[in-house]
Structure 1
């Protein structure tokens, strides 16, 4: 849970926890343990590197909401806008231009939201 909070932020994790029901509690426990407790907590890659890989994979799979969430999370992982751009260029070549194009639109929207939040 510590890693999940450090990447996604307390607000997101608290919101997910508040929305959890008996039906999806096992799923939430699974992703917390497997994704955050095992994969994201391994020492071989930095959070920045994991962020770039995750965004590229989610973009290639067309997982729009997850792309947006992980682009937003880069404020916590250290992945820069340039890092995201480079990851999405790889998506264009290896997973297809339409997937990358759509993910770029999502990233631009998230960046605009982050910039507006920063401006106050």
Structure 2
């Protein structure tokens, strides 16, 4: 999608879902930091990940959140894991859900991956708690 084109319905749905899950501040920062180089990528993830996958009705946002955290942790995608742990505030996934997902990671993807993801999740939850009391 280029600037001259009208966003597709899938893109519009994706943007709405992306904002609902990640929050307006996060998406606004991503959009503001977008350049001509990465704008096609931002459009792709908005339409494909958020519009095609996250907007599907089969899984709840909570279920998608849990699956996503487990996959990202298993793949060692630290920044994305942290972002999606933070997004649990908007998805309905609990801290216990995250713990259970990371236990699955330990068994199916390896203890080191789960151990590192647990460290990330603990840091994110501490930050979230500090923001609530600030």
Question: After TM superposition, is the score higher than 0.5?
Answer: yes
Q: Could you tell me which residue of structure 1 aligns to residue 108 of structure 2?
A: 94
Structure 2 residue ranges without an equivalent (≥5):
1-14
SS in 2 for 1:51: helix
Task: Kindly report the root-mean-square deviation, in angstroms, between the aligned alpha carbons of the 2 structures.
Answer: 0.3
Q: Distance in 1 between matches of 2:129 and 2:41?
A: 33
Among residues 50, 56, 59, which one is paired with 2:73 in the alignment? 59
State the number of aligned residues. Answer: 120
Q: Could you tell me which residue of structure 2 aligns to residue 116 of structure 1?
A: 130
Structure 1 residue ranges without an equivalent (≥5):
none
Residue 83 of structure 1: how far off its partner (Å): 0.1
Residue 56 of structure 1: how far off its partner (Å): 0.2
For the pair shown, the structure with the greater C-alpha radius of gyration is: 2
Under a length normalisation based on structure 2, what TM-score does the superposition of the two structures give? 0.89
Among residues 24, 47, 50, which one is paired with 1:33 in the alignment? 47
Q: Distance in 2 between matches of 1:44 and 1:87?
A: 19
Residue 46 of structure 1: how far off its partner (Å): 0.3
Q: Are positions 1:9 and 2:23 aligned together? A: yes
SS in 2 for 1:113: helix
| Runs of 4+ that moved beyond 4 A | none
Under a length normalisation based on structure 1, what TM-score does the superposition of the two structures give? 1.00
Structure with the largest fraction of helix? 1
